[in-house]
Amino acid sequence: MNLFLAMLPTIMTAATPLLLAAVGELVVERSGVLNLGVEGMMIIGAVTAFAGAQATGSPYAGMVCGILAGAAFSLLFGFLTLTLVANQVATGLSLTILGLGLSGMIGDSFVGTPGIQMGALPIPGLAEIPVVGPILFSHDLIFYLSILLVIAVHWFLFRTRTGLELRSIGDNHDSAHALGMGVIRVRYLAVMFGGACAGLAGAQLSLVYTPQWTENMTAGRGWIALALVVFASWRPVWVLVGAYLFGAVSIGQFNAQAFGFGIPSQFLSSMPYLATVVVLVLISRNRRLTLMNTPACLGKPFVPDR
């Protein structure tokens, strides 16, 4: 139990980028858009946040740079798929490839440069609570933002008129357009929100989780975030649960190596991705639940009548 409690803060830190990226993608997919470029937006956010922190000397300025870079990068996807009506799957994959290559070029001069770490911000009063305080209330700003985002997105989607409109557009964009809803405008905003969340997730990686820049440091987390959205059946609260489960798997494999269990390190390193495949297989068995929550217009192009 003591070992588990000691691991919890690390698990939360490891789960934060998955949670942020998945929550942003959930909003995008709820609007009926499938953006497979999460990995590309995350890596662009990571390198931009690192560069911004180096230029200003402030990790918080770097965080803002990461958010803006992710949102700006998502606009490229939005322009191609929403305005030019390009294929969403192909465009998302291209965005990932572009992000990985562009980040490598931008970050080449930062390889080996000491990073500027975003420190913890203990919440006064709460951080002093025995056991619970150090685990829940002694984290960095991005961790607190991730929890607030889950709450805010759940409230927005299921408790506001605008959230109802967004879900309606994702379920039937033709009917929503006929009722006077701005389908393209709402989808652009959703795509930008998803990009900003992915950029913030990347900023967490280069400013908190491993405060340095290394090429391809996202290591497939964007793809895990996409799987998390399906795992959660497009519900924000279950994204939170899934992110922490995957975070536990990621940290657990490091501890298994440290304890010398005799399991090949290559197999342990593959555990988070193996868990992703297993989860998707298990979810696919309950087809009724998946179809019930999947936005009906997900991935379908929309061209308004002129």
CATH code assigned at 239: 1.10.3470
Residue 224, SS3 per DSSP? helix
pLDDT score at 267: 67
Residue 303 counted as domain residue = no
Q: What is the pLDDT of residues 121-133, one digit of tens each?
A: 999 888 888 878 8
Mean of per-residue pLDDT scores for the chain: 89
pLDDT score at 8: 84
pLDDT band at 112 (very low <50, low <70, confident <90, very high): confident
Measured distance CA(30)–CA(76) in Å, rounded: 20
Residue 304 counted as domain residue = no
Q: Structural domain tally of the chain?
A: 1
Q: How much is the pTM?
A: 0.92
pLDDT score at 68: 97
Distances (CA, A) of 70 to 67, 114, 199, 250: 5, 23, 4, 24
Measured distance CA(274)–CA(253) in Å, rounded: 12
> If we measure between CA atoms, which residue out of 95, 200, 195, 224 comes closest to residue 147?
200
Residue 119 counted as domain residue = no
DSSP string, 46-93: HHHHHHHHHHHS-HHHHHHHHHHHHHHHHHHHHIIIIIS---HHHHHH
Residue 191 counted as domain residue = yes
Average pLDDT over residues 158-185: 94
Burial class (CB in 10 A: 0-12, 13-18, 19+), 98: middle
pLDDT score at 126: 86
pLDDT band at 22 (very low <50, low <70, confident <90, very high): very high
Residue 197 counted as domain residue = yes
pLDDT score at 71: 97
Distances (CA, A) of 206 to 17, 114, 115, 199, 291: 11, 11, 8, 11, 37
Q: What is the pLDDT of residues 262-303, one digit of tens each?
A: 666 666 667 777 777 777 777 667 667 666 778 999 999 998
Provide the residue range defining the domain that includes 189.
2-108+126-293
Residue 207 counted as domain residue = yes
Residue 121 counted as domain residue = no
pLDDT band at 306 (very low <50, low <70, confident <90, very high): low
pLDDT score at 135: 84
Q: Which residue has the higher pLDDT, 304 or 103?
A: 103
Residue 117 counted as domain residue = no
